[in-house]
Amino acid sequence: MVPGLFGNLKNCQINPEPLATLETLENLAILETLNSRKEIEMSNKLLEIKDLYVNAEEKEILKGINLEINKGEIHVIMGPNGSGKTTTANAILNNPAYTKINGSITFEGENINNFKTDEIARKGIFMSFQLPEEIPGVSVTNFLKYAKNKMTGKPVKIFEFKDELKKYMDELNMNPKNMDRSLNVGFSGGEKKKNEILQMLVLNPKLAILDETDSGLDVDAIRTVSKGIEMFKNDNNAVLIITHNTKILHSLKVDFVHVLVNGRIVKTGTQELAKEIEENGYEKYKKISAQ
């Protein structure tokens, strides 16, 4: 029945005359319901990675990753050093230093494999960097104002924007003087990471990928980062946390935990899985991946 309906109605969109009959109107109503249901399904899915193989400097790093992230979810990818965590983040943003060999990355139903990094960013994917770059001579305020303008395509009202910035910096226990300092120049490790979270809040992406944002931070700073994630998170966006330790999971509730070892996701579970890894480490999973 349904495919037939589609066929009929496709015709009636091209030629609106058949709308006159009651039967067609009923069909139209059914189609609308179907369409909206489909839209819900479609729109819930943000990111889909299928069978992704990625090389970095000729070396095979990712060996067939599959991952699906829906709106409203917080995912964690955990794994030992060198397992391919950062490569996954960089591949999603299409960093030219990484080469996709096989597979696809789809965002909101669109294949973004070959999109430029800035296009992907403007689609709504954000990445918090493990080692944020320093930009001398460009203040945090000017940088974010410019980036926000590029993201939204709209002019940014400076006073409102500064207020927004102040509010977030306050929440993140950031020194308000940092607003006028050059981006990341002379920032401590912790200040740089908080600054990444600040950028996430200001740019408000659909999917935020946090690459080792918790690493090297003390307990208080990790709590601040968790708080930033909670402020950001809502039913319409998603977060992918990439980490090699489990500290951040003490102060944050997550939906899915994936264990990445040797370029493959070898196990997916809930927060419980993280606890198990905290106790037993990755040894068991290294064995799985070696098989």
Partner 1 sequence: MSKTKLDEINRNIYDIKNKDEYDFKIKKGLTPEIIEEISKQKNDPEWMKEFRLKALEVYNKLELPTWGPDISELNMDEIATYVRPKTGLSNSWEDVPDDIKNTFDKLGIPEAERTSLAGVGAQYDSEVVYHSMKEDLIKQGVIYTDMETAVREYPELVKEHFMKCVPVYDHKFVALHGAVWSGGSFVYVPKGVKVDIPLQSYFRLNSPESGQFEHTLIIVDEGASLHFIEGCSAPKYNKVNLHAGCVELYVKDNAYLRYSTIENWSKNMLNLNTKKAIVGKNAKMDWVSGSFGSKISMLYPMSILNGEGAKTEYTGISFAGGGQNLDNGFKVVHNSPNTSSLVNAKSISKNGGKCTYRSLVRINENAKNSKSSVSCESLMLDDISISDTIPTNDIRTDEVEFSHEAKIGKISDKTIFYLMSRGMSEEDAKAMIVRGFANPIAKELPVEYAVEMNNLINLELEGAIG
Contact set with partner 1 (CB under 8 A): 93, 95-97, 116-118, 120-122, 126-127, 129, 132-133, 135-138, 143, 146-147, 149-151, 153, 182, 199, 203
Closer residue to partner 1 in complex, CB, 4/96 = 96
Q: At which residue do the structure tokens 């600054």 appear?
A: 195
Q: How far is the CB of 278 from partner 1 (least distance, A)?
A: 30
Where helices occur in the chain by DSSP H, the ranges are 2-14, 22-44, 85-92, 117-123, 140-152, 158-171, 189-203, 219-232, 271-280, 283-290
- Tokens 């909670």 appear where? 230
Shortest Cβ 153–partner 1 spacing (Å): 6
Give 117 or 245: the residue with its C-beta nearer to partner 1.
117
User: CB of residue 60 vs partner 1: minimum separation in angstroms?
Assistant: 21
Q: What is the dihedral of CA 15, 21, 22, 25, to 10 degrees?
A: 0
End-to-end CA distance of the chain: 47
Minimum distance from CB of 288 to partner 1 (Å)? 33
Compute the least distance from the CB of residue 242 to partner 1, in Å: 14
**Residue 9 or 151: which CB sits closer to partner 1?**
151
**Encoded tokens for 289:** 């991946």
Instruction: Report the alpha-carbon distance of residue 155 to residue 157 in Å, rounded.
Output: 6
> 44 vs 182, which CB is nearer to partner 1?
182
Residue 107: is it exposed, middle or buried by C-beta count within 10 angstroms (0-12/13-18/19+)? buried
Nearer to partner 1, 83 or 128 (CB): 128
Helix-helix angle 219-232:158-171, to 10 degrees: 130
Q: Nearest distance from residue 131's CB to partner 1, in Å?
A: 8
Other beta carbons within 10 angstroms of residue 276's beta carbon come to 16
Smaller CB distance to partner 1: residue 178 or 262? 178
